[in-house]
């Protein structure tokens, strides 16, 4: 309106995901005026959970919070109470079921071995196939667990996930796979682990309490308008999009989901089942109710179930970006954008898309809290 005063904010936060919500919370706590905007119709970014029939459905893929960082764990527990969920996925290879992580159950099923000593001997025999430093993901996997496990439990799944031959993928991707000579079914080696009771959306809403949030707003289409009402911008969108793809677009892996509400109480008996053969089109099926032990908030058994078939797909502009493809070509392109970003004295780029990095949730919290420390205090 003509003559009306435009409200000035200390910070405009672009993106209401975990990174943006934590920064907004800390900025408000430090006495700053904050506005959060998001192009989606919901807050929480990719950790958004939607309630269907009393089940908190992880809309953009399974998110299990896990960390060894006590400071991070203590921080996030201010905004949610976490349950005792432990990530224990199962691998389905053509109807054969194996334990993930690779542990004594896996080795027993694969080779009939019973003791850790027998398992270690078998793995070491098969590891010998790789001489010297592994040059790609296939060699890395064989050097960790041998060819049998690689062929049945890693190869097909990974090639579906990344849309590339394992010999073309960098070795570091597979370093996140735990291998152990015990019967411990916990996928993560983390001291602290769980799912927020009531879902992640509730946790993000707690972070954003009493902070102005505008949804369905595309910042890049209204950049001038929003830049004019804030002294500083915290941008958590894609860094290449911010600079209008000046050097070309960075690549991502995308994920598509087929959700089904089933009128049965139990579909697969586990939160996550990975399909590790190449012929099954989906990479895994998530059954969301098991993240909260099949119970509603009052502890009653839920009569229905929601499953999500997850398909990995080649990303194209306009698709949801999930995982940065941090190969040499893309990292080089990112460095060009990073040089431009460093020259923006009014804009801070953060989060998985803003920094073109694969971040687990705990790492996101750690990084944003460090940034808050230098920016706000």
Average pLDDT of the residues in 252-268: 95
Catalytic annotation, pick one of 159, 284, 292, 356: 284
Catalytic annotation, pick one of 253, 275, 337, 362: 253
Average pLDDT of the residues in 68-84: 98
Largest CA distance in the chain: 81
- Known active-site residue 253: yes
Sole residue written with tokens 């970006």 = 321
Q: 253 pLDDT exceeds 90? A: no
Catalytic annotation, pick one of 138, 310, 355, 362: 310
pLDDT for residue 5: 56
- Known active-site residue 335: no
Sheet containing 284-287: give its strands across: 96-99, 90-93, 272-275, 284-287, 305-314, 252-262, 323-324
Strands 252-262 and 305-314: antiparallel
**Average pLDDT of the residues of the chain:** 95
Are 370 and 23 a contacting pair, CB within 8 Å?
A: no
Q: Give the separation between CA 170 and CA 137, rounded to whole angstroms.
A: 5
User: For the chain, which domains are there?
Assistant: 9-86+193-251+321-376 (3.40.50.720), 102-176 (no CATH)
Are 292 and 197 a contacting pair, CB within 8 Å?
A: yes
Q: 26 pLDDT exceeds 70? A: yes
pLDDT for residue 208: 98
Catalytic annotation, pick one of 129, 176, 245, 320: 176
Q: 334 pLDDT exceeds 70? A: yes
Pick from 30, 36, 17: nearest CA to 373:
30
* Pick from 39-43, 64-68, 131-135, 319-323: least confident: 319-323
pLDDT for residue 1: 42
pLDDT for residue 377: 87
Catalytic annotation, pick one of 51, 180, 319, 323: 180
- Known active-site residue 40: no
Q: Give the separation between CA 251 and CA 324, rounded to whole angstroms.
A: 6
Per residue in 116-142, pLDDT (tens digit) is 999 999 999 999 999 999 999 999 999
pLDDT for residue 177: 63
- Known active-site residue 60: no
Per residue in 223-241, pLDDT (tens digit) is 999 999 999 999 999 999 9
Per residue in 137-177, pLDDT (tens digit) is 999 999 989 999 999 999 999 999 888 899 999 888 887 66
Backbone phi and psi for residue 337, each to the nearest 5 degrees, phi listed first: -70, -35
Average pLDDT of the residues in 194-202: 97
Q: 2 pLDDT exceeds 60? A: no
pLDDT for residue 3: 45
Average pLDDT of the residues in 307-333: 90
Average pLDDT of the residues in 290-306: 96
Give the relative orientation of helices 155-162 and 137-145 as an angle to the nearest 10 degrees. 150
* Pick from 74-83, 197-206, 285-294, 321-330: least confident: 321-330
Q: What letter would DSSP give residue 350?
A: -
The encoded tokens of residue 56 equal: 């908190």
């Amino acid at each position: 309106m003509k003559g009306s005063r435009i409200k000035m904010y200390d910070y405009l936060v672009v993106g209401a995901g975990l990174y943006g919500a934590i920064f907004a919370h800390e900025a408000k706590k430090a006495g700053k005026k904050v506005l959060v905007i998001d192009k989606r119709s919901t807050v929480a970014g990719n950790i958004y959970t939607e309630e269907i029939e009393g089940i908190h459905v992880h809309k953009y893929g399974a998110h299990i919070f896990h960390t060894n960082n006590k400071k991070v764990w203590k921080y996030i527990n201010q905004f949610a109470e976490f349950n005792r969920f432990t990530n224990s996925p199962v691998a389905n290879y053509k109807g054969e079921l194996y334990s993930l992580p690779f542990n004594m159950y896996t080795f027993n099923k694969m080779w009939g071995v019973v003791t850790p000593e027998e398992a270690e001997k078998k793995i070491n025999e098969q590891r010998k196939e790789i001489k010297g430093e592994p040059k790609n993901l296939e060699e890395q996997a064989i050097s960790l667990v041998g060819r049998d496990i690689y062929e049945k439990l890693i190869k097909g799944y990974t090639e579906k996930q990344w849309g590339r031959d394992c010999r073309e993928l960098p070795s570091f991707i597979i370093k996140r796979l735990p291998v152990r000579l015990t019967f411990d079914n916990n996928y993560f080696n983390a001291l602290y682990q769980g799912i927020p009771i009531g879902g992640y959306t509730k946790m993000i809403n707690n972070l954003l309490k009493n902070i102005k949030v505008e949804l369905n707003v595309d910042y890049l289409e209204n950049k001038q308008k929003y830049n004019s009402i804030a002294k500083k911008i915290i941008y958590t969108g894609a860094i290449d999009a911010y600079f209008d793809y000046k050097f070309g677009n960075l690549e991502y892996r995308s994920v598509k989901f087929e959700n089904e509400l089933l009128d049965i109480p139990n579909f697969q008996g586990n939160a996550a089942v990975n399909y590790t053969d190449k012929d099954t089109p989906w990479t895994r099926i998530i059954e969301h109710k098991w993240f909260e032990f099949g119970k509603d908030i009052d502890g009653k058994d839920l009569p229905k179930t929601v499953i999500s078939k997850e398909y990995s797909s080649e990303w194209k502009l306009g698709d949801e970006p999930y995982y940065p493809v941090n190969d040499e070509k893309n990292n080089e392109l990112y460095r060009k954008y990073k040089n431009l970003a460093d020259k923006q004295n009014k804009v801070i780029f953060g989060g998985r898309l803003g920094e073109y990095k694969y971040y687990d949730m705990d790492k996101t919290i750690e990084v944003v809290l460090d940034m808050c420390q230098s920016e706000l205090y």
